[in-house]
Structure 1
Amino acid sequence: MKLGARMLKTGIAVTVALYIANLIGLPSATYAGIAAAFAIQPNIYRSFQTMFEQIYANIFGVSIATLIVFTLGNDPLIIGFTTIIVIGFCMYLKMNENTTALAIIAVLAVMETTEMMLLNFTGLRFSSLTLGIVSAFFVNMLFFPPKYELRLFKQIDQMTADILQWLRISTRHLSDDPALKGEIDRLDLEIAHIDHTYSLYSEERIYRRKARIPKMRKLVIFRQMIVTSKTSLETLRAIYQYDDKIDTIPKEFQQVLVDELDKIIYSHERLLLSAMGKIKKNQRKLVEDITTPNIPHLVDTLFLVYEKDEKDRHSLLPLASRLMEYHKEILYLQKLLYSYHKFHEGINLNFKKKKRRILP
């Protein structure tokens, strides 16, 4: 099992909350630890949002519980009824599951039987829960800050490499159909993970004005990288769907298809390597100058193949359309990368992982 940063931060937050609660003499330190465990979030922005949301939920849960204990008591049936009210309120405000759970914990913490004065007891429980929430926020901000930029690019790079590998294999009819089908399903899940990582990265706030515009341009580049990879996956899906029809067409067209797809794949790979800083910057020699996919020629060849057979003339046009869309997205990605290097020449994209310095 891989121990992630969020697991470590949860443990640190619980520890910090318990230490502070014991240090200031709160008798209910356990509730501070529970609140800290529920308050850890994947990035600082969400942690900031969650902190206020959970404090509001804590106030509401404690207030409702105190009012109910004053008026109706703390019978188990009444506690259950109060829990339903709090859950309904949290759902009405569209709070997340962790916030709702914390509100329920606030209700249970206040409505348990005690010989202490109710207001003092309520204040102690509220203070413990709030301490846990605030402790989690500071731990989330200070320890193991997430590097979503590097993580996102690594995910895109790995997924794209898998797609392009299967594209090369499939166009040469070397792929196993069940294995390819399973890979396409897996890649669909990978894209969902990448979209989630992109969402977390886009939520990161840049407060220095000088770094804000480069960050916005990076967001556009990442979004286009994801779109281009999705288009390459759709091309792979189309090849898988039309594989039996490709086998029936003349060898000349099959060779044209392989050649044009190889050019598109090469262009895609070269752009990713360029973004990683592994290719020399030479703006006089663009991707098209090295290997230009000629998709119109591919479509013309397809029409020549079926010009005498009206029935099957358009059967492979969806595949040609996918290739045209794929090439269009690659050209747009190239334009964005060129624009970024043009306007931010001195700012690195930071897609390469920094090497650790080995001390003698």
Structure 2
Amino acid sequence: MALGARVLKTGMAVAMTIYLCMLFKQDSPVIAAVAAIFAMQPSIYRSWRYFLDQLQANTFGAMIALGAGMVLSNEPIMIGIICILVIMLSLKMKMEDTIGLTLVTVIAVMEASGQWDYALLRFAQILIGIGSACFINVIFLPPNPKKQFIQQIEAVFNQMSLLLRTSISDEMTEAAFHQEKRELEKSMQSLADKFKLFEEEIKKLKRAKFSRTRHVVVYKQLLYTLQRGMEVLDSIENHYFQSIRGEGIDHKFDEHLEHLIRVHEHVLLKFEDKVKKDTEIIEHLMERNEEFLETMMKACINGDDSSHRLAIVVAACYEYGLQIQRLDRLAGHANPVPEKENA
């Protein structure tokens, strides 16, 4: 069981919130602690955005609940009706992420039956919880989506290359293959989520310079190339073994996939500035890619209907090769941004 930074920071934010409530002599800091748990976000930008959204949502939620508590009552049916109203207003304002904590505010305020001082106290507790979580998130081990994204690239590539290398030769057991593929799909989704966080911070929080924006394009291509490799794996699983293949076809596919993976690995090392720049490798890749496409398409056209499914796999391999070539061009123009730029 891993103890991640976000888990640790959530505990710290809850502790800080309770201490602050004790400092201001506020009873029952449970609501403030719940707010701190909700407010812990995976990036600095999202923490700041969450704070602003919650400030707006909780303000109008507290006002509605205070008015309802004064005019109506705190009977369960009335609290339920007000909660429905607040949910509808939150959806209308496109603030879906704030609904949970806003409802906590509404229930806490309505519990006071319109006592504005009690309502203000509960509202202040929620702001203390949100503020504590944002403070801890920014000060203590601040999230670095870019660094996390780069670290995951190599791991995801290694997972994918193992499956591609063994998919045609059918070396892995079926159970092991499906287990590894499920893990790869989860890793790919996690990688896409990390890129989204990184893109948000660069474009919205830091008001990125052109150089940083250019690096977003490079990192997006890193992800896109891996996704195209994943499509090759999917096409093999869904179409390759369902087609009738001539003698030597398996060997040609196996050999071509091995070549694509080696070149992809070379480009990733080039991106990390670990190997010398060598244009001949990419030129050779494209020559082989074009030759493979032409040869295999002829075989598919001259075959029966089942061989047309093989054309889907060929097209996926060709697209994967094209994206490796594009990644190489981008990696040649932009190395990773130095860490001091992220400060």
User: Counterpart in 2 of 1:81?
Assistant: 81
Instruction: Report the equivalent of 1:201.
Output: 198
Map 1:47-86 → 2, pairs under 5 A = 47-86=47-86
Q: Counterpart of 1:37?
A: 37
Q: Pick from 119, 125, 134: which aligns with 2:116?
A: 119
In structure 2, the partner of 1:288 is: 282
Instruction: Tell me the residue number matched to 1:298.
Output: 292
RMSD of aligned alpha carbons:
2.9
- Structural mapping, 1:258-337, within 5 Å: 258-279=254-275, 282-283=276-277, 285-288=279-282, 294-302=288-296, 314-337=308-331
Contact between 1:260 and 1:293, CA under 8 Å: does it hold in 2? no
Query: Partners in 2 of 1:309 and 1:50 — Cα distance?
Result: 58
Shift of 1:315: 4.9
Pairwise mapping of residues 69-148 of structure 1 onto structure 2 (< 5 A)?
69-97=69-97, 99-113=98-112, 118-148=115-145
Structure 2 CA distance, aligned partners of 1:126 and 1:2? Answer: 34
Answer 1 or 2: which has greater helix percent. Answer: 2
Q: Measure, in 1, the Cα distance between the counterparts of 2:196 and 2:17.
A: 29
Q: Distance in 1 between matches of 2:243 and 2:170?
A: 9
Q: Deviations over 1:65-100 (max 9, x none)?
A: 211122123233322222222222222223234x21
Query: Using the alignment, how far apart are the partners of 1:83 and 1:310 within structure 2?
Result: 62
Q: Which amino acid aligns with 1:212?
A: K
State the partner residue of 2:246.
Answer: 249
CA deviation profile, 1:160-204 (whole Å, cap 9, x unmatched): 212212222223342334543443344233222211111111111
SS at match of 1:2: coil
- Using the TM superposition, name which of 304-313 and 124-133 deviates more: 304-313
Instruction: State the TM-score, normalizing by the size of structure 1.
Output: 0.83
Native 8 Å contact 1:65 1:111 kept in 2: yes
Secondary structure at 2:334's aligned position in 1? helix
**One-letter code aligned to 2:194:** T
Alpha-carbon distance in structure 2 between the residues aligned to 1:81 and 1:138: 35
Q: CA deviation at 1:304?
A: 6.2
- Contact 1:261–1:293 under 8 Å retained in 2: no
In structure 2, how many angstroms separate the alpha carbons of the residues matched to 1:208 and 1:129?
Answer: 28
8 Å CA contact 2:286–2:322 kept in 1: the answer is no
Tell whether the 8 Å contact from 1:295 to 1:320 is kept in structure 2 after alignment. Answer: no
8 A Cα contact 1:246 1:254, kept in partner: no
Q: Evaluate the alpha carbon distance shift between residue 208 and residue 323 of structure 1 in structure 2; reply closer, same or farther with a 3 A threshold.
A: closer
> Any gaps of 5 or more consecutive residues in structure 2?
none
Q: CA deviation at 1:16?
A: 1.6
Secondary structure of residue in 2 paired with 1:204: helix
In structure 2, the CA distance between the partners of 1:319 and 1:53, relative to structure 1 (3 Å rule), is same
Paired residue for 1:170, among 155, 164, 167?
167
1:217 alignment counterpart: 214
Distance 1:238 1:269, change over 3 A: same
Does the 8 Å CA contact 2:74/2:111 hold for their aligned counterparts?
Answer: yes
State the AA in 2 paired with 1:169: T
* Of 307-316 and 186-195, the range deviating more from structure 2: 307-316
Deviation (angstroms), 1:137: 1.6
Moved more, 139-148 or 307-316: 307-316
Q: Cα deviations across residues 265-294 of structure 1 (Å, max 9, x unaligned)?
A: 110011112223332xx3355432676651
Q: Spell out, residue by residue over 1:217-258, the C-alpha distance to the aligned partner (whole angstroms, 9 max, x if none).
A: 22211211111111112212223344436774122x444333
Distance 1:124 1:113, change over 3 A: closer
Structure 1, 37-46 or 153-162: larger mean CA deviation = 153-162
Structure 1 unmatched runs, 5+: 351-360
Match of 1:5 in 2: 5
Cα distance in 1, alignment partners of residues 91 and 304 from structure 2: 58
Native 8 Å contact 2:301 2:308 kept in 1: no
Larger radius of gyration: 1
Percentage of matched positions with identical amino acids: 28
Quote the residue 1:356 is aligned against. Answer: none
